[in-house]
Amino acid sequence: MAKIIGGVTSSHIPAVGNAIANNLTQEPYWKRFFDGYAPAKAWLQEKKPDVVIVVYNDHGLNFFLDKMPTFALGCADTYHNDDEGWALKPVAPFKGDAAFSWHIAESLVEQKFDICTCQEMKVDHGFVNPIRALYGTHDVWPVTTIPLAVNTVQHPVPTAARCLELGKALRTAVESYPADLNVVIFGTGGLSHQLQGERAGLIDVEFDLECMERIANDPEWMTQFSNSEIMRRAGTEGIETIMWLVMRGALQSNVKVVHKHYHAPISNTGAGVLVLENYL
């Protein structure tokens, strides 16, 4: 049977992709941010998951505002990156596992998460950058991936509580799949940041650290907040932090904290890396 061995979080800001593409990761501005990924990369090297389910939001590459699914699952064998408008060179296509995706979709709908299924799904920096940061850049990616998109762009967006519930359903879905696959969940985005309006540049380090510690050890804590409350503290784009809860919900209630890394600011954000491992 498939099993979830752990979860990893990562920021997915565009600047991370630029820094990697332009070989800036050891420049003083970036060094501490990227050096903090080393233990997470080593953990993935050691565990060698067969499949990574990447929880992210699309920023206007695959989904326009004509149709905006709250939760959408890639159900294809290949996912392509593409031009997002700022002329960054797209990276190599990602290998999916359609049969596994369809099983997950069936199980989620059975559990009352009526998810949108996507047989063609372009993946943007929200999906690509965490993989590049955690695996390096490859012509042939070393792991099979499944994109799980959460709408954090156009409100109404799902609540933190709903995201945690989705994670729990995702665990049931994965663990009922008959193939022997080791699965890791990436929760991407966040932490606090606001790009828009006169309040642009907001970062709340204390809230970020509280979120990291609670998401690791007491994720229910996050569910007390409405999305308005999260945006008030963490900024409008900081709402992405709810996607970490999908990852967390898919793990056991008690997990081993393998690695905890926080850096601020990077570009306009507070950025956190968590590596959480299920006890076997």
Q: Which residues bind other proteins (CB under 8 A)?
A: 32, 35-36, 39, 59-61, 64-65, 82-87, 153-156, 194-201, 203, 205, 209, 213, 226-228, 231-232, 236-237, 257, 259-265, 267-268, 270, 273
Yes or no: say if 233 and 207 are a contact pair by the CB < 8 Å rule: yes
Q: How far is the CB of 27 from other proteins (least distance, A)?
A: 15
Active site residue 193: yes
* Cα dihedral 122, 139, 125, 6 sign: positive
Of 193, 259, 261, 263, the active-site residue reads 193
**Phi and psi torsions of 262, nearest 5°:** -135, 140
Q: Which is nearer to other proteins, 14 or 172 (CB)?
A: 14
Instruction: Return d(Cα 226, Cα 241) in angstroms, integer.
Output: 13
Active site residue 59: no
Q: How far is the CB of 256 from other proteins (least distance, A)?
A: 12
Q: How far is the CB of 32 from other proteins (least distance, A)?
A: 7
How is residue 44 written in tokens? 């993935």
Instruction: Return d(Cα 49, Cα 182) in angstroms, integer.
Output: 5
Q: Which is nearer to other proteins, 8 or 108 (CB)?
A: 8
Residues 6+ apart with CB under 8 A from 100: 2, 51, 146, 177, 179, 181
CA dist 3 to 65, 153, 182, 274, Å?
A: 35, 31, 5, 19
Q: Which is nearer to other proteins, 179 or 205 (CB)?
A: 205
Least Cα distance to 188 among 55, 74, 81 occurs for 55
Q: How far is the CB of 51 from other proteins (least distance, A)?
A: 26
Q: Which is nearer to other proteins, 25 or 111 (CB)?
A: 25
Q: Which is nearer to other proteins, 62 or 145 (CB)?
A: 62
**Three state DSSP letters for 228-273:** HHHHHHHCCHHHHHHHHHHHHHCCCCCEEEEEEEEEEEECCEEEEE
Of 103, 125, 259, 261, the active-site residue reads 125
Residues 6+ apart with CB under 8 A from 219: 164, 245, 248, 249
Q: How far is the CB of 114 from other proteins (least distance, A)?
A: 20
Residues designated catalytic = 125, 193
